[in-house]
Amino acid sequence: MAPVSDHEVIVTREGGSWLADVPAVPGAHTFARSLAGLAKSVREVIILMADLDGDAKPKLIFTYEVSDEVVQEAVARTRAPAGP
């Protein structure tokens, strides 16, 4: 299996689509209608644009740059430490 590498993914929203940019990988931009679909597309574009082995498993670190309050609250909850 290929080594895992971390990639920051900048996520924005335009209309009904989620857009992703991977600054460390030139040309690595993609979009999807859902966040689950976006994660899959981002991995595929990283493998393609960074010329990685097809079995590479890039780790994605998402940064959301959206003004949607519902999305911001959901992101905050996923980053909050778990309670006892």
Judged on CB neighbours under 10 Å (0-12, 13-18, 19+), 42 is buried
pLDDT band at 4 (very low <50, low <70, confident <90, very high): low
Q: Check the CA dihedral 74-42-8-3 and report its sign.
A: positive
- pLDDT at position 28: 95
Cut 0.85: pTM above it: no
Mean pLDDT of 44-59: 92
CATH code for residues 6-68: 3.30.2390.10
Query: How is the chain split into domains, by residue range?
Result: 6-68
9-51 pLDDT, tens per residue? 999 998 889 999 999 999 999 999 998 899 999 999 999 999 9
